[in-house]
C-alpha cells in the first residue's frame, strides 16, 4: 500500500502526498489546526507500519512485532530481552495500541 502522507518542511510535520494547497484554504485557525492534527496522526500511523531492522530496536520501545521476510508466518510479539526470542527475525514494527473505549 502506498503512503498517503510525506514528511514536510513547511508548517506541517506531515502533509498529504502530492496535494496542492490553495490560497486561503485555511481561512481560520480551527480549519488549519484540524487539518494539521489529522494529517500528523495519519503520518505517524503510516510510519509505524514501516518495518525497521533489528539493530534499531531500543529497550525503551518495549514489546514489538517481529518479522522475517518474506512474511510466511505470524509475527513474534515481545522483545529481544525475552529468553525465548527467536533468532530468525530480522525486522520489527511498533505495537499500535487501541484507543480506550468510552462506556
Would the pLDDT of 95 be above 70? yes
Q: What is the mean pLDDT of residues 23-41?
A: 84
11 pLDDT band, cuts 50/70/90, is low
Cis? peptide before 70, omega within 30° of 0: yes
Amino acid at each position: 500500500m502506498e503512503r498517503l502522507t510525506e514528511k514536510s518542511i513547511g508548517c506541517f510535520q506531515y502533509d498529504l502526498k502530492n496535494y496542492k494547497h490553495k490560497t486561503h484554504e485555511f481561512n481560520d485557525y480551527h480549519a488549519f489546526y484540524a487539518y494539521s492534527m489529522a494529517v500528523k496522526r495519519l503520518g505517524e500511523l503510516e510510519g509505524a507500519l514501516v518495518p525497521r531492522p533489528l539493530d534499531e530496536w531500543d529497550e525503551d520501545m518495549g514489546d514489538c512485532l517481529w518479522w522475517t521476510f518474506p512474511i510466511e508466518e505470524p509475527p513474534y510479539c515481545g522483545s529481544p530481552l525475552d529468553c525465548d526470542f527467536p533468532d530468525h527475525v530480522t525486522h520489527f514494527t511498533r505495537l499500535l495500541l487501541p484507543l480506550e473505549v468510552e462506556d
